[in-house]
A and B are shown apart, each in its own frame.
Chain A
């Protein structure tokens, strides 16, 4: 009996003739085994980077924001570039888990857990940049609206920067809830297999006493679906709001109505690239090739070529509008500061074009989409390109204001500003290594749910039924 029909033409999502128990075994293996040498090496490097980041932040907090080479015109530099970049990275997780759930895309099950984890960690990294950019970080609670003792002092609800505060904190909270509610049944699976006392205790606490009752599953499904429905507009709103930080200002190069969809597409683009980087490593290190198949990689590459092209279209539209609007300041920003290769920051614009628009077009070829080496290489390229994009938007719009006397200052980041960025990489990978070791990196229950319809042994059975003669079929199945 097939509970759900899936065409035989689609390639299987789970290969290797798995049964339910085999799925549990495969996904719990990394949790139950000792970490490999490679894991220790990676974790050590991540922690070192994190420590360097902590020291960079310490310097910034102690000596002030002058530790970063921000200057008179470039008041937002690497910090806000990195903020927007990290938030963008976070978007693929929610897109995979929520939007693809609503669209009933079965392939999301193999990658959603790790992608959601990536979202959580990326948003954690992102949030730090605006907070430390405040300079006096101990005053950060001023952004929270609450009746206080400093007179009728409220936050400015009309300011896009406050919208950010609400957007990022809501996004983080909802992603965390979505992620954790999905983890509860899988923690219960790990708990029930646990051999050691400590593991029983920890996974027992983490699994909240989950039993797998039918009523609980029914509510769990309802919860996941509604959370997905909420996250879908949420993920679009978050990057839209981040783009409002720029779009509602009057700076040439920022004051652009195309920003919301353009930022969202860019976020999904870079997010999927990061998912690719992580998935390719994960499937190799933990031997999960049967769950994260070439089909998954290909599907994600299709999203990358789509969103990359949307972003490319946005770049060209901006350039066109820079000319067509006949606003000479806009024209200067787009045609002199950006598109001119020989302007001071021309390298970043053309780096962006090469990485984001030209190179992903390679994925029109099916052979390339299914090539692991090309995918891994491209995932790195795309992330570099998307970092360039945020840098281009921020710095090339700011470094020359209306006062030519301030044009002589060329902005380049200080060690501590770069150290902060490196530190967030440390934080991200420290979290990700811990996640990979102690959490089920693939949603066990969800894989089991799609196994009967998309596992390759079941596919074979369906093929047999589909090719049967009608009489034969009736004889076999009519009761």
Chain B
């Protein structure tokens, strides 16, 4: 992963942030991301993100759970071990409702959380670059990606004019790496010159 240059602006209120996002996008800059201390509703749409499909995944996991429970129990009780319990039918569907329901919920919940962690690259010892230490406290941090054509000074001034309280330039990796938050390691793979 290569290093990139970002112009970072910190906003103190979502009411200022929203028009700023609009202005920055209209001006043609590419917003890498906005980091907020809490979910700001509508910000995803303002940034032009599409809806997440996580709930669809959850539905599929749920159906998987239902099928697993029903097929497994019916196989066990009609094929593998058809035991006569008090003369009750082997295929006792009503009695299987509770376990089927529980497995549906279990599969859906576990599957969704794992998918969520996978999509967001969340796991213990995952470390990412933080543009601002107060992004999880009280500031709304907008990171704008710079290309070789971007006039960094101009962009900084522009961001300031939209209401950003602090503006700075950071060179960072935008991905994630394995690391610890008590150590300042960053596994940037600098391209080493190879002798041709």
Contacts and interface: CB of A to CB of B under 8 A. Distances in A.
Contacts of A209: 121-123, 125-128, 176
Majority secondary structure of chain A interface residues (helix, strand, loop or mixed): helix
B4 interface: no
Interface stretch (A7-15, A190-198, A463-471): A190-198
A163 B99 contact: yes
Contacts, number: 212
Nearest to B141: A212
Contacts of B77: 154, 157-158
A208 B127 contact: no
Contacts of B99: 157, 162-163, 166
B76 A157 contact: yes
B49 A215 contact: yes
B105 interface: yes
Given A177-B113, A218-B44, A213 B55 contact: no
Given A208-B117, A223-B54, A170 B96 contact: no
Contacts of B54: 219, 222-223, 226
Contacts of A213: 33-35, 120
A222 B115 CA distance: 12
B36 interface: yes
A111 interface: no
Interface in B78-102: 80-81, 83, 85, 88, 92, 95-96, 98-99, 101-102
B43 interface: yes
B58 interface: yes
A414 B122 CA distance: 49
Contact of A445 (B38, B81, B116): B38
A163 B98 contact: yes
B190 interface: no
A230 B59 CA distance: 11
A19 B113 contact: no
B116 A208 contact: no
A445 B37 contact: yes
A227 B121 CA distance: 20
Given A211-B136, A226-B55, A227-B109, 20 more contacts: A20-B137, A145-B72, A177-B109, A184-B122, A185-B136, A198-B182, A201-B180, A204-B127, A207-B181, A208-B126, A209-B125, A212-B37, A212-B135, A214-B43, A216-B120, A230-B58, A237-B98, A445-B38, A446-B38, A449-B38
8 pairs of A and B residues whose beta carbons are closest in the complex = A204-B181, A209-B126, A20-B138, A208-B122, A200-B182, A448-B38, A163-B98, A21-B138
